[in-house]
Amino acid sequence: MSTASATNQKIECAWIHSPVARLVVVFATILASLVLLEVGLRVIGRYRTGTIGGHLRPGGLSFLLKTNFSKTVNWPATTFTVHTCDFGFREKQPGARRFDGSPYVAILGSSEVFGNGLDYKLTFVGVLAEKLGPRGVQVINMAVPGHHLLEQVDVFEDFVRHAPQMPQQVVIIIDPLLIGGYDDVHDDVTVKLGGLFPKDNWRVPLVRKLLADLSTSYCYFRDGIRNLQTEIAGRPDLDLSFYLERYSTKHRLHTPAVQEDMFRHLKSLEARIRSVGATPVCVYIPTVGGFFLDKLKREQKLDGGLFDTSFFPEILRTHCQAEGLRFINAEPALRELYDRGEQLNFDGDSHFNGPTSQRLGEFLYDSLKPGKD
C-alpha cells in the first residue's frame, strides 16, 4: 500500500470517528425516522393533511362565516363538517336557503349554538330543527363561533335587510361568554386562510397551522405534548383562570352602569325583533366551566366568595320579567347530567359533546314547540 493510500485511509477513519460525522449520522437517523413516521401515519390515516382553509371570512363588525361553503374540521378529539348557505349560516348542506312561506325560528348565539365539534345534525340546533320540521317549522342558525352580543346583533340586522321572509320567533341564546364580553367586536384579530389570528402577531400561529396541515409527524408530536400536559395538569379543556374571571363577583357586569349598557343593547335587539313581526325569546345556557367552579366550591377547594355562577341567569330572568319576554333556563337540565357524573364536553375542549347537545336540543324542543306557552 502506498504512503498516499495509507494517509487517505487514516483521514477517512479519522473523519468517520469525528464529532461532525457522528452528528451527520444522528441527523440522518432522525430524518429517516421522521420520514418513516410521516409515511406510516399517512398510510393508517391517523391525521388528515391538505385541508388548510377555515370557514371564516372578514365581514360585519369583525368576522362572519363563508357563504355556500363546506369544510371538514379536524380536532384532536373529533372531526366535524361545516356547511353554510348563501346567507353564511350553518346548514345541513351548502346552497341557497329556501323560504317557502313556512314559519321559521331564527337562533342567535356563539360557538355552542354554532355547534363547534359536531356535525350539524348532532348540534342542539340541528336536533331542534329535526324535531320542529314535522310540525312545519324551520330553523335558521345565525350563530358564529367567537361572536359576542353586538356582533350577533349586527348579523341579525343585516339578515332582516335582505331576507325575503321574516322569522316567527328569534331565540337569543345567551351564555356568560356572549354577554360577558358583550361589546367586544374582536378588533384585535384578523382572518387568514379562513382562521382567526392575533392581528399584531399572526405569522407564527399561521406557520403552526400550516405545519399541522402539511405534516402528520408535527401533529403526532403536538398531540403527544398536549396529552402529557393533560396528565400533569389535568382538565386542560377548562381554563380555570378564564372561568374565574368570567364568573367573578368583580366582573364588570356587576357594575350597574355597565350592566345597564349591556341591557340597553339587548333591549334594542328585542325591539328590532318585534318590529319585524317576530317574537323574541331569551334562553340561558351555562358553561361546563361554571359547573366545575361550583364543584370545586362544594369540595372546599375554591373560595366561593370569588365567583357567582348564578349571577347571569338571575339578571336575565329579572330583565325578561320586566320586559315581558319569555325566559328559558337550560341550566337545571344540564346540571342534572353533570351532577350524575356525565361528561358534558369533549376531551381537551370545553364545548358540549354529542350527548349533551342531544339533551339540550330535546329540552329546547319541549320548551319551544308550537303550542307551548
User: For the domain that residue 133 is a member of, what is the CATH number?
Assistant: 3.40.50.1110
Position 68 in a domain: yes
pLDDT per residue rounded down to tens, the chain (373 residues): 555 565 556 555 655 667 766 677 767 776 677 667 666 766 666 666 656 678 999 999 999 999 999 998 878 778 899 999 999 999 999 999 999 999 999 999 999 999 999 999 999 999 999 999 999 999 999 999 999 999 999 999 999 999 999 999 999 999 999 999 999 999 999 999 999 999 999 999 888 888 877 777 767 766 776 666 666 555 555 678 899 999 999 999 999 999 999 999 999 999 999 999 999 999 999 999 999 999 999 999 999 999 999 999 999 999 999 999 999 999 999 999 999 999 999 988 899 999 999 999 999 999 998 766 5
pLDDT of residue 148: 98
Position 49 in a domain: no
Same domain, yes or no, for 82 and 12?
no
Same domain, yes or no, for 20 and 140?
no
Domain containing 34 equals 3-44
The total number of structural domains that make up the chain: 2
Position 330 in a domain: yes
pLDDT of residue 185: 95
Position 373 in a domain: no
Same domain, yes or no, for 36 and 175?
no
Same domain, yes or no, for 269 and 298?
yes
pLDDT of residue 229: 60
Position 50 in a domain: no
Position 284 in a domain: yes
Same domain, yes or no, for 66 and 32?
no
Position 25 in a domain: yes
Same domain, yes or no, for 28 and 166?
no
Position 137 in a domain: yes
Max Cα–Cα distance, the chain, nearest Å = 105
Same domain, yes or no, for 139 and 11?
no
Same domain, yes or no, for 182 and 218?
yes
pLDDT of residue 10: 55
Same domain, yes or no, for 255 and 193?
yes
Same domain, yes or no, for 243 and 328?
yes
Same domain, yes or no, for 39 and 164?
no
Same domain, yes or no, for 92 and 136?
yes
